[in-house]
Amino acid sequence: MRILNSPAQANGGNGDRKNLDACTIVIFGASGDLTARKLIPALYHLFKENQMPADFRVVGFARREKTDASWRTELRAALDQFSRTKPVDEKVWAAFANNLFYCQGDLTDDAAYKKLETQLAGFGSGPLRENLLFYLAISPSQFGEVVEQVHRCGLLNKEGSAWQRIVVEKPFGHDLASAQELNRELTRYAHEQQVFRIDHYLGKETVQNILMFRFSNSIFERLWNRESVDHVQITVSEKIGVGDRGGYYEEAGALRDMVQNHMLQVLSLIAMEPPVSLEAEAVRDEKVKLLKSIRELSPADVGKQIVRGQYFAGAVNGDPRPGYRQEVKVKPDSNVETFVALKLFIDNWRWSGVPFYLRTGKNLPQSASEVRIQFRPTPNVLFAAQCGSQLDANALTLRLQPDEGIYLRFNGKVPGTTIDVRPVRMHFSYDAEFGAYTPEAYERLLLEAIAGDATLFIRRDEVETAWKIADAIRTGWERKPLTNREFYAAGTWGPIAADDLLAQLGHTWHEPQLLKKLANQ
Ligand code: BG6
């Protein structure tokens, strides 16, 4: 499904995914995990599906000694593990691998960039040398250096119709100040239009479908406001613990790792106003406007509206898990949160007074991401005698992953002579409707970056506004160790305090349910 059809970016690009400009993708950090796990498998699949430009090269830049041949061999082996389609098509791989080249060098060494320049010159004097996508799969502390170096070599702002773009990965800073500093570093030598900040949630098909669903279905759009919606729940739960990422997680925590980026992105797509067009700036303007209308949180509000949690030892579906404090590279008295639940209010015309509940956590009973729009109940007068307060409110659930789909819950009469009402469901499953179509988020994002369409990337003011929200929460937590009510056993739905957060307004969390299971009920 294609929701985006915005025209080319100011810095070149033709906006047409069918006729993409020839270009070279330079991956800084080519020896890293991301390259082998995500980037090369994504490029291989785009190539396999004839979606890459007719002519392209990929140059991997990293410190380790490698040749083109050894890098290709290494990536081929990694593909066996990380490709979403198996087995790897050897013919396709051989044709694809001919386009992969390695450039050995240190990110801080001027000579290495000269080498890169020479390598690019070897691709001729046309677009392969001029249209350049620099992918920074490196630590943010190195962004500034790399951008300055490629600028100095004349690779960044070429004259004429050629384009150069920079793709950056998260974490994009760890607070507002550091994100602003990164933005300053990136835009010292590049224009904002050249910077593509990744949030891989925006590459997910179902996340993109949120806008399509909202703005192409009049039956739902007219209900999408405070008149009809009682509250909204967004759950992004994960069965995995922090595993071997304890070191990173100690610095991040769930708020920085999931809420500041992925969850606020989903929230802004769910709640934003219709954009004037599907052009990148129009969509991003509305997302930023939405983020700015989230009610500010004082430290006292944080105490009332935000719940954090940390898992202790338990079992996820029978699989024993250590407590967070026992994970490798985690301090034994760590106060880092592995769970966050939020009650946010959006102070605008559409949503005034409607609570938005968000929760995310590690070591929860299910891995599932979904948005549930719960509608206001009908006056409970007709069926009160039979159903009491049990009459369920209507709800619409957008299941983002896994088992992608949408289902609507409403009330129906149980067949028989008694008046008995119970919730029933209508559901749409992507799988059943369109067949299994599961491109990785990175495929879409790389394609959009090559095409120069920034809609699915985070704009400077967007990332900064999201950090302001996260920073306010951190300020509220400052110097407050976790209390007993904030711990949860691995394998449960988070701390009790998260349930209390909803109970304040008479709400309860709804557990994500597998659509397939519902269909068979
Ligand atoms: C990443 C986080 O950004 O997103 C991880 O760093 C998290 O901690 C992951 O597990 C979740 O992504 P997905 O696509 O598996 O939902």
Distance CA 296, CA 291 (A): 10
Residue 390 has a pLDDT of 66
Domain that holds residue 122: 7-171
Ligand 1 center to residue 84 CA distance, Å?
Answer: 17
Q: What is the 3-state secondary structure (H, E, C) of 442-490?
A: HHHHHHHHHHCCCCCCECHHHHHHHHHHHHHHHHHHCCCCCCHHHEEEC
Whole-model pTM: value is 0.93
Whole-number mean pLDDT of the chain? 92
- What is the three-class DSSP state of 53? coil
Inside any domain, residue 176: no
Dihedral sign, Cα of residue 505, residue 378, residue 225, residue 508:
positive
Q: Is 337 in the pocket of ligand 1 (CB under 6 A)?
A: no
Cβ of 238 less than 6 Å from ligand 1? yes
Residues 58 and 25: their CA atoms lie apart, in Å, by 5
Residues 20, 114, single domain; the answer is yes
Give the residue from 153, 140, 149, 147 showing the smallest Cα distance to 191.
147
Q: Are residues 237 and 359 in the same domain?
A: yes
Nearest residue (CA) to ligand 1, atom 10? 238
161 secondary structure, DSSP code: T
Does 218 lie in the same domain as 141? no
Split into its structural domains, the chain has a count of 2
Residue that terminates a domain, selected from 120, 155, 171: 171
Indicate whether 116 and 214 sit together in one domain.
Answer: no
In a domain, 445, yes or no: no
Nearest CA to ligand 1 atom 15: 238
Residues 6+ apart with CB under 8 A from 500: 307
For residue 466, tell me if it sits in a domain. yes
pLDDT tens sequence across 144-166: 999 999 999 999 987 778 999 99
Whether residue 160 is found in the same domain as residue 217: no
Residue-wise pLDDT tens digits, 249-273: 999 999 999 999 999 999 999 999 9
Nearest residue CA, atom 9 of ligand 1?
A: 258
The residue whose C-alpha atom lies closest to atom 14 belonging to ligand 1 is 201
Together in a domain, 164 and 228: no
Give distance in angstroms: CA of 158 to centre of ligand 1. 36
Residue partners of 190: CB distance under 8 A and separation at least 6? 147, 151, 156, 157, 164, 166
* Domain termination site, one of 123, 152, 171: 171
For residue 141, give the CATH number of its domain.
3.40.50.720
Residue 249 CA, closest ligand 1 atom number? 8
Q: Report if residue 111 sits inside a domain.
A: yes
Does residue 104 share a domain with residue 242? no
Q: Tell me, yes or no, whether 216 and 353 share the same domain.
A: yes
Is there a contact between 256 and 470 (Cβ–Cβ < 8 Å)? Answer: yes
Among 170, 257, 336, 338, which residue has the most ligand 1 atoms within 8 Å of its CB, making it the best to mutate? 257
Q: What is the pLDDT of residue 518?
A: 54
CA of 119 to the centre of ligand 1 (A): 35
Find the CATH number of the domain harbouring 390.
3.30.360.10
Burial class (CB in 10 A: 0-12, 13-18, 19+), 499: middle
Per the CB < 8 A criterion, the answer to whether 426 and 408 are in contact is yes
284 falls within a domain: yes
The answer to whether residue 122 sits within a structural domain is yes
Residues 306 and 243 in one domain: yes
For residue 42, being part of any structural domain is answered with yes
d(CA 271, CA 437) in angstroms, rounded, equals: 27
Supply the residues annotated as catalytic: 262
Angle between helices 264-271 and 280-292 (to 10 degrees): 100
- Which atom of ligand 1 has the smallest separation from the CA of 240? 10
* Preceding peptide of 87 cis, ω within 30°: yes
The closest residue, in CA terms, to atom 8 on ligand 1 is: 257
CB atoms closer than 10 angstroms to residue 15? 16
- The per-residue pLDDT for 382 is 79
Q: SS3 string of 418-429?
A: CCCEEEEEEEEE
Question: Which parts of 160-263 fold into alpha helices (H)?
Answer: 176-189, 205-216, 218-221, 246-254
Q: What are 361's two structure tokens?
A: 């956590």
State in Å, rounded, how far the first CA of the chain is from the last one: 29
> What is the Å distance from ligand 1's center to 304 Cα?
27
Q: Which of 200, 256, 359 gets mutated to test ligand 1 (max ligand atoms within 8 A of its CB)?
A: 200
What is the rounded distance in angstroms from the CA atom of residue 432 to the CA atom of residue 73? 38
Q: Which residue has its alpha carbon closest to ligand 1 atom 6?
A: 257
pLDDT digits (tens, 9 = 90+) for 388-407: 766 788 999 999 999 899 99
Domain C-terminal end among 153, 171, 189? 171
The pLDDT averaged over each successive group of 10 residues in the chain (521 residues) is 32 57 97 95 96 97 96 97 94 97 96 96 93 95 94 85 93 95 94 96 93 95 96 98 94 96 98 96 98 97 97 96 97 97 98 98 96 91 73 92 92 87 90 82 96 96 98 95 95 96 95 65 47
Tokens standing for 72?
């290709």
* Same domain flag for 142 and 241: no
Q: Specify the ligand 1 atom closest to the Cα of 201.
A: 14
**Same domain for 224 and 93:** no
In a domain, 226, yes or no: yes
Q: Is 403 in the pocket of ligand 1 (CB under 6 A)?
A: no
Q: Verify that 335 and 413 share a domain, yes or no.
A: yes
Alpha carbon of 120 to ligand 1 centroid (Å)? 34
